[in-house]
Amino acid sequence: MLSLPTPLWRQLQAAASVLAAVRRGESATPALARVPSELRPAAQALSFHVLRNLGRAEALRKQLAKRPPPPAADALLCTALALAWQEEGAPYPPFTLVDQAVEAAKRAPETKAQQAFINACLRRFLREREALVAATDKDPVARWNHPKWWIERLKKDHPRAWEQILEANNAAAPMTLRVNTRRVAVADMQARLEAAGIATTPVGQFGLILERPLPVGEIPGFGEGWVSVQDAGAQLAAALVVGSAAPNPPYEILDACAAPGGKTAHIAELADTRLLALDVDPARCERIHQNLERLGLKAQVQAADAGEPATWWNGQSFDAILLDAPCTASGIVRRHPDVRWLRRESDVAQLAAQQARLLDALWPLLKAGGRLVYCTCSVFKAEGDERIAAFLAHNIGAVLRPGPGHLLPRNGAKPGGVPDNEAGDHDGFYYAVLEKGALEAPARPADA
């Protein structure tokens, strides 16, 4: 028996539930996990669209009603406004969205009492849409769909590129594969995908951007470990750690904040090393194991706080360290559109302090002449240039080597090119390659 398509009003209810969870401070990921499986793909598509247009929707709601209704009703109302405010790019015609939003309000106990209010607001929106949208155009939060503090920080940090960053954030990210060159060459993998009817564009040294996203189960070779899903910008980390030539063992590498293991696996793909992967969360360490197993790779995985070496370090100094530090995730907003609404301005300083703690803890564990690659998926300079400048000011034995620096999010592929600040299709990152001077003595375990 053929299953009937899920009614749109149910999809809108599910998307509104995700928005309500984000407003409570919860990530969209667990909120979507609670949505019934048959609704989840549609709920994700709609809720991501809503989160990318939430600033405009909330500004419109203020035009329609000076006082917000109860949270569940406001989430449904703003969901409908976010989806319908702009006819171009709307997933359904505005009249259909409004009609189905009212139906959704009527059918849910938590919104039924506000059905008439939601209906009145949305019918007025349809009648006065052009004027209402024009009235919100001067509001920067409505224009850019980011919190005001975020917009102001980008203006300060990137005065010539802040608009480009915000525009990139509001677009959907592509699905990018990293080819496991231990198993197959990039050109051969592209040919295999093309033979299966999957069009791709090369990006960087190891990447292929899919013309359209697919479930990983439909990608030839994924289960066999030929490819992994990883943004092109993230694919730079492993090559920076390993260097221009793959080292000969024994070579000790630490991936200090490793979960879910994408960068760990890439390091293991590029070089035969003794690789230690740490993560503070045991459950996330299991994800690292799973990724390595699928790819046929090995590393020592340990649940530990990288910032407390006395609890895990055996005294063997490392030739190279990757510190993919906890950060605001301000560079991956196009993949995680909830991030902008979950972060608070005070988070930037708190996370920068964590980054400083980790740098200070791990630097003594590096051999003289070794390299530490500091990485964040952030475009904020407090988590990039400023953090490294502060570190260098207090560590005279550290030398900053040439590297990407702030890699700003960009949409659009540069065939065969390395992701950079001028072109490419990649998320936002910061990379710094720090080399330890030959005269700086390594730490002893008792010092850690």
Catalytic residue numbers?
Answer: 377
What is the C-alpha separation between 342 and 30, in angstroms, rounded?
14
β-pairing, 274-279 vs 318-324, is unpaired
In terms of Cα–Cα distance, which of 142, 133, 149 is closest to 170? Answer: 142
Per-residue burial over 276-308, b if 16 or more Cβ lie within 10 Å, else e, is bbbbeeeebbbbbeebbebbebebebbbbbbbe
Cβ atoms < 10 Å from Cβ of 87: 9
Q: What is the 3-state secondary structure (H, E, C) of 387-436?
A: HHHHHHHHCCCEEEEEEEEEECCECCCCCCCCCCCCCCCECCEEEEEEEE
Cβ atoms < 10 Å from Cβ of 196: 11
Phi/psi of residue 326, nearest 5 degrees: -55, 140
What is the C-alpha separation between 112 and 102, in angstroms, rounded?
9
